[in-house]
């Protein structure tokens, strides 16, 4: 190969590198500005149960959960301040498969953190959102949603600060289900073992009635941060009322502007 041809190839390669610099720089800037989605204290929920974390201004999150019978529950939230976020969720049952898809009306997500735990009062938040993901948790084919109040406490384990949450839910939708006897309690925790891996567990739908344990759900899962902007969680739900384990796949994307 002649010197002239080598020089021409080197010049072409240099030109391609220069052209790619803006794209690489933009990609690095974007990734650096993103946060870990399912990472310990800075997550919006454990599996179904909410947390007291309420995002920060400019934080955008997209969440997709594939649940039993091929349904997909998707959501998007926007942090308006360090104590408040708004969002929407959209549920389509049986989207994957041969059965007719069941498209539900979009719902609202909102959370306001009342206290941040900087005093003797623990972190407390109130909000509105869906309660439990999955076809088995629907009432009359509708994902239950309503108001909740949640508090949290921190504890140290495996060299990291972990989060324990506890709270109360009151259903609003479906309207026929909005009764005091359907109010429930939940508890949960997530354990961050490393920046890229964690485990989580919760007990939800604890009712104030006889044989309450039969309707209670015992959930656990594993969370993996693939990159800073993308996370995957494998979640499992069990209740004596259904006597089987329900598997869910959750995919989340997070960024900021």
pLDDT the model gives residue 227: 82
pLDDT the model gives residue 161: 85
Can you tell me whether residue 96 is helix, strand or coil?
coil
Give the pLDDT confidence of 162-214 residue by residue, as tens digits: 999 999 999 999 999 999 999 999 999 999 998 889 999 999 999 988 888 88
Residue 5 predicted with pLDDT over 70: no
Better-predicted residue by pLDDT, 35 or 230: 230
Residue 39 predicted with pLDDT over 80: no
pLDDT the model gives residue 118: 87
Confidence of residue 41 (pLDDT cuts 50, 70, 90): low
Give the pLDDT confidence of 67-110 residue by residue, as tens digits: 999 999 999 999 999 999 999 999 999 999 989 999 999 999 99
Q: Which residues contact 202 (CB under 8 A, 6 or more apart)?
A: 46, 47, 48, 49, 186, 187, 188, 189, 218, 219, 220
> In angstroms, how far is CA 179 from the centroid of its own chain?
27
When pLDDT is averaged across residues 133-146 and rounded to a whole number, the result is 94
Q: Which residues pair with 84 in a beta bridge?
A: 81, 112
Can you tell me whether residue 32 is helix, strand or coil?
helix
Give the pLDDT confidence of 114-126 residue by residue, as tens digits: 999 888 899 999 9
Can you tell me whether residue 116 is helix, strand or coil?
coil
DSSP 209: S
Mean pLDDT of the chain: 86
Would you say 88 and 82 are in contact if contact means Cβ atoms under 8 Å apart? Answer: no
Residue 130 predicted with pLDDT over 70: yes
């Amino acid at each position: 190969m002649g010197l002239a041809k080598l020089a021409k190839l080197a010049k072409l390669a240099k030109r391609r590198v220069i052209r790619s610099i803006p794209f690489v720089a933009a990609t690095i800037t974007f990734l650096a500005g993103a946060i870990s989605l399912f990472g310990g204290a800075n997550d919006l929920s454990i599996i179904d149960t909410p947390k007291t974390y309420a995002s920060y201004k400019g934080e955008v999150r997209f969440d997709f959960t594939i649940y039993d019978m091929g349904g997909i529950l998707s959501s998007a939230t926007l942090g308006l301040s360090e104590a408040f976020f708004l969002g929407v969720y959209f549920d389509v049952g049986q989207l994957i498969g041969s059965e007719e898809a069941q498209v539900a009306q979009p719902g609202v997500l909102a959370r306001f953190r009342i206290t941040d735990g900087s005093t003797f009062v623990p972190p407390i938040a109130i909000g509105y959102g869906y309660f439990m993901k999955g076809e088995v948790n629907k009432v009359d084919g509708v994902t239950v949603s309503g108001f909740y109040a949640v508090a949290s406490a921190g504890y140290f384990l495996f060299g990291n600060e972990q989060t324990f949450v506890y709270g109360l839910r009151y259903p609003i939708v479906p309207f026929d289900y909005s009764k005091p006897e359907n109010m429930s309690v939940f508890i949960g925790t997530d354990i961050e073992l490393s920046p890229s891996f964690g485990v989580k567990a919760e007990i939800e739908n604890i009712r104030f009635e006889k044989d309450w344990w039969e309707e209670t759900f015992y959930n656990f899962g594993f969370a993996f941060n693939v990159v800073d902007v993308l996370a995957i969680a494998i979640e499992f739900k069990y209740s004596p009322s259904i006597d089987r384990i329900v598997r869910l796949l959750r995919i989340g994307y997070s960024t900021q502007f």
